[in-house]
Amino acid sequence: MIAQGDKLPAAVLSELTDEGMQNLNTQELFAGKTVVLFAVPGAFTPTCSEAHLPGYVVLADQIKAKGVDMIACVAVNDAFVMRAWGKVHNASEIRMLADGDASFTKALGLEMNTGSFGGIRSVRYAMIIRDGVVEKLNIEQAKSFEVSKAEYVLNQL
């Protein structure tokens, strides 16, 4: 499992933008930047939609004011779903990244099997990344929502 001080693994994430589908190499995407990356088990699911993503939408300006270059949300969903979910929540300041095949999530060692609910998904977490290296890693316990909240991460910056 990824740990604080580790370099992020090489993987490809997808993002649907106005310019079309973008395939993003994680090593290039996070290089030379300070990034807050948070993961949710699934777009449009209750805690993710009611609290997790909205918290980052509300606090995006304050987070960026602390020297963060990019805020990104990742889920094991496709890029079409991630874009739609971001639009519903006015997440214009947040990069909505899709890990459709869970390869990034598995490379991090942060996957969980939800069985017939949705299969392989990400555990809920947030990390602060500086130049591709994990500086802070906040992994939620099952059925918990505390350490990956936007407010918690803002206090760590």
Question: How far, in Å, CA of 1 to CA of 79, rounded?
Answer: 25
Instruction: Let me know if 73 is a catalytic residue.
Output: no
Among 93, 96, 81, 87, CA closest to 45: 81
Q: Hey, how many other C-beta atoms are within 10 angstroms of the C-beta on 125?
A: 20
Catalytic residue among 8, 13, 35, 48: 48
Q: Sign of the C-alpha dihedral, residues 139, 105, 95, 55?
A: negative
138 neighbors 125 (Cβ within 8 angstroms)? yes
Shortest CA distance to 123 belongs to which of 136, 95, 150, 104? 104
The residues that are catalytic are: 48
